[in-house]
Structure 1
Amino acid sequence: MEKLVTLLALLLYFGLVFGEISNKCVFPAIYNFGDSNSDTGGKSAAFRQVPPPNGLTFFGSPMGRVCDGRLIIDLIADRLELQYLSPYLDSVMANFRNGANFATAGSSILPGGYSPFSLEVQISQFLQFKKRTILLSDLSIPNNSKWSSSKVNIANPQDFSKALYTFDIGQNDLSYGFQHTHEAQVRASIPLIIDNFTQAIHQLYYEGAVNFWIHNTGPIGCLPYSVIDYPLKPQGLDGIGCIENQNKVAREFNEQLKDRILHLRAELPRAAFTYVDIYSAKYQLISSAKEQGFGDPLKFCCGWYNNGSEVACGQTAIVNGTEHGKACSDPTKYISWDGIHYTDAANVWLAKSILNGSFSDPPVPIEQSCSHSSTRV
């Protein structure tokens, strides 16, 4: 009897193991669209290089990221055993074998705002990228030709339909609205923002994309940059010191985004949509900062803001006899890097929290977030 129980236990174990493996998705590439939360060097390549001390903690030097190290998109690539994504706009040492990154800092879903690289532009860039990749792949180039090396770092055309398409964008639509209009106008703009996002998804779907990993927008009312000069303090703040009305609008945006994704699942039946509640993950981290080994979540490591005065991270200035702007000595104790962006340590915590499916709808790990029409092992 004991041997039978042992045998059954072994069979169950191997069944679970091999069943899990058989459901694992194979993502040969990632195509990412977004803003500074996932920009691995797009804005730096297009305009001005991100200065030190950005990148110092993990890379040892600036690597185009507005962070002291890795972003969540880097940790997604790590999890899927893919190389870090080269920015589409980067002309130096770019490698697109495992995908490309179209995100640029300041980007929004709607045109205008902080950056010219809206989601519409990013989608247009992808369409051109795909078309040129296929054309180049179809060329018959002799191995000894001076052009033969041009194929080494391009994408495999067959990977476009198997790739994971990731999105982290929308925060700047709300932030720019709060900065230049009023709360009621920001709220009224949400349906149009969601419509434009939906149009982008449809374009990619009709290009063969079927695997979508979509982050909602984070708690913008918890960004130290916003809280520091908020004129209604302490009124208007929630229990952990975040601006409640800004977070309320962010949650409304997220509700409409989630509802639209439900409709997209019905409209685009071949696709798999994973909605990632990054808002809740970030809010949980901020509200339990000390328990997670961080300091005050509303303080930041690099740069300085006070009563409208600003010293950007990477710069220093003497204000009233005191030098401001230098980075802290230990970024691992901070959630916020520069008052707007998260530190490498915070991004590692967030990635561990979301990649196992705990904050996802459906609640599956990223390795199982592909369409049934995609390749599995």
Structure 2
Amino acid sequence: MMQKYLWIQIFVLLSSFSFSVETDYASIFSFGDSFSDTGNIVLIYGPARTDLVMTKPPYGMTFFDHPSGRLSDGRLIIDFIAEALGLPLLPPSFAANRSFEHGANFATAGGTALDRAFFVANNFTVMSPFNISLGDQLGWLDGMKPSLCGCKPGGCEGYFSESLFFVGELGWNDYSAVLLAGRGVDEARSLTPRVVGTIRAATQKLIDGGARTVFVSGITPMGCSSANLVLFAGSSEADYEPDTGCLRSLNLLSMEHNRQLRHALAQLGGARIIYGDFYTPLVELAATPRRFGEPRHSSDLRAN
């Protein structure tokens, strides 16, 4: 069910996005996790890793006709945004022999806001053996700057002023690292100020580097995720929201993250900052699936 929720969320997001941004961007630079990774994690692991699910059908089969490195059977939000702006689909930043004239995608599946060393030091479940946090992704951009804008008028500041920066859906994996370690929702929630502060600082760094439009998304309702509904199943009806069937405590965690993130972004200046609500459309679908052509089955929400 969560995959179906995601498609509704994509189209709701794009319907508002198309009316809220100009369409003359020369490039897009994207950061995040699996929601926007267009192949980096596959390239980082390399051909020796043959068990990655996104390298096999049915991934990629409904649009690309072959696995594309995306954790989707088709396109991602960042793909639809690029198409809406008349730009090519973003290549992963680790791709060889690719042009990054129109931007690059640094997002990597499993990416976190906080550095990997933090999770290791606190005995949380480490999501990846690689350093792929938001800070690492910003470092990759720094390393690419000489080839991106070394010869452009105004340097990187001039180039980036005509670019759209997308900071997508970070925080989910940070909280999952705590939850999967068995440390509980309260401890996961205690990280929210640190997670949000990291995203805010990264957004400010992009602005300081010349970005004039930055899209920053909140996180989806963690309590509606099919995997979380199984992994963290409640012991009583009170653990579930009566209108959605989603796990109450995890959705409250998502809402608190999004509340703090909106507040933090509102304090930034010097650029146009767009907040992407990835929460509300999915909760609306879970609560009223018939509005979107989906029958309501409690088993879909809690077990499948």
Scaled by the length of structure 2, what TM-score is found? 0.79
Q: Which has the larger radius of gyration?
A: 1
The equivalences for 1:225-374 within 5 A come to 225-235=227-237, 236-239=239-242, 240-264=244-268, 268=269, 270-294=270-294, 299=300
Equivalent position to 2:32, from 31, 34, 39: 34
Map 1:132-211; keep pairs closer than 5 Å: 132-135=147-150, 137=151, 158-168=158-168, 169-180=170-181, 181-211=183-213
Counterpart CA distance in 1 for 2:39 and 2:162 is: 25
**Structure 2 partner of 1:107:** 111
Match for 1:288: what amino acid? Answer: T
Query: How far did residue 158 of structure 1 move?
Result: 4.5
Structure 2: tracts of 5 or more residues without a match: 1-18, 117-125
What do the CA deviations read for 1:186-211 (whole angstroms, capped 9, x no partner)?
Answer: 11111111121122112211111121
Size of the aligned set, in residue pairs, is: 261
| Aligned-partner Cα distance in 2 for 1:96–1:126 | 11
Higher helix share: 2
8 Å CA contact 2:38–2:92 kept in 1: the answer is: yes
Tell me the CA shift for residue 44 of structure 1. 1.1
Equivalence map 1:89-100=2 (5 Å) = 89-92=94-97, 94-100=98-104
**Could you tell me which of 129, 146, 150 is aligned with 2:144?**
129
Q: Structure 1 residues 55 and 298 mapped into 2: Cα distance closer, same or farther (>3 Å)?
A: farther
SS in 2 for 1:278: coil
Q: SS of the residue aligned with 1:176?
A: helix
For residues 163-207 of structure 1, the C-alpha deviation after alignment (integer angstroms, 9 at most, x for no partner) is: 010111221112222222222211111111112112211221111
1:80 equivalent in alignment to 2:85: yes
Could you say if the C-alpha distance between residues 133 and 24 of structure 1 is closer, same or farther in structure 2, counting changes exceeding 3 Å? closer
Shift of 1:159: 3.0
TM-score of the superposed pair, with normalisation by structure 1: 0.64
**What's the CA shift for 1:100?**
0.5
Are 2:66 and 1:64 equivalent residues in the alignment? no
The answer (yes or no) to whether the contact 1:223–1:298 under 8 Å persists in 2 is no
Structure 1 window deviating more from structure 2 (236-245 vs 172-181): it is 172-181
Partner amino acid for 1:31?
Answer: F
Where does the alignment leave 5 or more consecutive residues of structure 1 unmatched? 1-20, 139-154, 301-305, 307-338, 340-377
Residues 223 and 173 of structure 1: is their aligned pair in 2 closer, same or farther, counting only changes over 3 Å? same
Cα gap change, 1:121/1:204 in structure 2, threshold over 3 Å: closer, same or farther? same
Deviations 1:298-318 (A, max 9, x none): 749xxxxx9xxxxxxxxxxxx
Amino acid at match of 1:63: S
Residue 55 of structure 1 is aligned with which of 44, 60, 65? 60
Distance in 2 of aligned mates of 1:126 and 1:298? 44
Map Cα deviations across residues 84-106 of structure 1 (whole Å, 9 max, x no partner): 100001225x2312111000000
- The Cα offsets for residues 141-177 of structure 1, whole Å up to 9 and x where unpaired, read as xxxxxxxxxxxxxx99843221010111221112222
Shift of the alpha carbon at 1:234?
Answer: 4.1
Residue pair 1:97, 1:156 contacting (<8 A) in 2 also:
no
1:72, distance to aligned residue in structure 2 (A) = 0.8
Change (3 A) 1:157 1:193: closer
Which of structure 1's runs of 4+ aligned residues deviate more than 6 A?
none
Deviation readout 1:252-284 (Å, 9 max, x if unpaired): 0110000001111xxx3x201111111112222
Quote the residue 2:3 is aligned against: none
Identity score, percent: 30
The answer (yes or no) to whether the contact 2:157–2:210 under 8 Å persists in 1 is: no
